[in-house]
Chain A
Amino acid sequence: KQEVTQIPAALSVPEGENLVLNCSFTDSAIYNLQWFRQDPGKGLTSLLLIQSSQREQTSGRLNASLDKSSGRSTLYIAASQPGDSATYLCAVKGQAGTALIFGKGTTLSVSS
Chain B
Amino acid sequence: SAVISQKPSRDICQRGTSLTIQCQVDSQVTMMFWYRQQPGQSLTLIATANQGSEATYESGFVIDKFPISRPNLTFSTLTVSNMSPEDSSIYLCSVVLAAGADTQYFGPGTRLTVL
Q: Which residues of A line the B interface, CB within 8 A?
A: 31-32, 34, 36, 41-44, 46, 49, 51, 89, 91, 93, 96-97, 99-105
| Interface SS of chain B | strand
> Main secondary structure on chain A at its contact with chain B?
strand
Q: Give CA–CA (A97, B92) in the complex, Å.
A: 18
List residues of B whose CB falls within 8 A of some A CB. 30-31, 33, 35, 41-45, 48, 92, 94, 96, 99-100, 102-109, 111
Pick from B33, B99, B108, B111: contact of A99, CB below 8 A.
Answer: B33
Q: A43-B109, A44-B92 are in contact. Are A93 and B104 (CB under 8 A)?
A: yes
- Of A43, A93, A99, most B-chain CB atoms within 10 Å: A99
Q: Which residue of A lies closest to B105 (CB)?
A: A46
